Amino acid sequence: MEESLLLSILFSSLALCQIVTIYRIPLSEYVIASEGEEISLYCLTINNVHQAQTSWFIRKVGESLRSTSYNGSTGELTEPSDFIGQFTATGDLLQGTLTFQTNFTLLNFTREFDLTQITCGTGNAGESFIYTIGLPVTPSLMTNDSVQAVEDGDVSVDLQGRPPNAFPPTITSSQLSLNDNPVSNTGVTVNDYTASFTNVQRNQSGIYTLTVSNDAGTSNTTFTLDVQCMYI
């Protein structure tokens, strides 16, 4: 259903476009995977005069680029010798001769594929989209020892650290506590790595702990909020 809706919108808006356009599902360039999971990717190339040669290119960490091609004219799948049996690919032509859709499936995700890049495209410059598939990454937080604010003012504290690799963590929950008690004050909001205070008061001074979690684990860090009197 999702693919059908996408196709109807694309064909109506891009019928006259002469540039090769690539649409994909999922939309994010980062795909979080679990060991043993089957990963499916969908790619649609519009106005692709080389549609029979639309390919998926694979690059593991530290390795050279490999390609697995699905030929829409013959139905032939060409795989690198060391990847045989680990992937499947299908495809067909749509809307005449310039639109090609293809599905790529990694049959069994394992740690050896962590941070693997899988590219859909024609092989021509600028006519591709890169996915990165990886295991969940524990959120990374930095320590902000002391934050000063003025009474009745607003302040935001961003505590996002640098992840151990280029794969960004997806946050499932964030919680802020003051002196080990959960914060539920009106005017205090928590969005992933950021705690924001609106119309902050002096009695909100104290040691705060931000706890952030996702499928890979939980991280926490502390900061001290020091609310000063507003002098006139």
Residue 104, strand partner residues: 41, 89
Quickly state the pLDDT bin for 197 (edges 50, 70, 90).
very high
The CATH superfamily assigned to 146-228 is Immunoglobulins (2.60.40.10)
8-37: per-residue pLDDT in tens?
A: 444 444 334 445 667 677 778 889 888 999
Model confidence at 97, pLDDT cuts 50, 70, 90, reads low
Q: How many residues does the chain have?
A: 232
Per-chain mean pLDDT for the chain = 79
**Looking at residues 131-156, what average pLDDT do you find?**
87
Structure tokens at 100: 């090609």
pLDDT: is 211 or 95 the higher one?
211
Q: Check if 2-134 and 146-228 are the same fold.
A: yes
Greater confidence (74 vs 137) lies with 137
pLDDT tens, 56-94?
888 888 888 777 776 655 667 777 777 778 888 887 777
- The answer to which of 51-55, 113-117, 161-165, 227-231 has the lowest mean pLDDT is 51-55
Helices and strands counted in the chain (H then E): 1, 18
For the chain, give every domain's residue range: 2-134, 146-228
| pLDDT above 70: residue 220 | yes
In degrees and rounded to multiples of 5, residue 138 shows phi and psi of -60, 135
Closest residue by Cα to residue 2 from 27, 37, 30, 32: 27
Q: Given this model, what pLDDT does residue 70 score?
A: 66
Which candidate, 112, 68, 111, places its Cα nearest to that of 90? 68
Using DSSP, state whether 56 is helix, strand or coil: strand
pLDDT above 90: percentage of residues in the chain: 22
Beta bridge partners of 170: none
Which fold does the domain 2-134 belong to in CATH? Immunoglobulin-like (2.60.40)
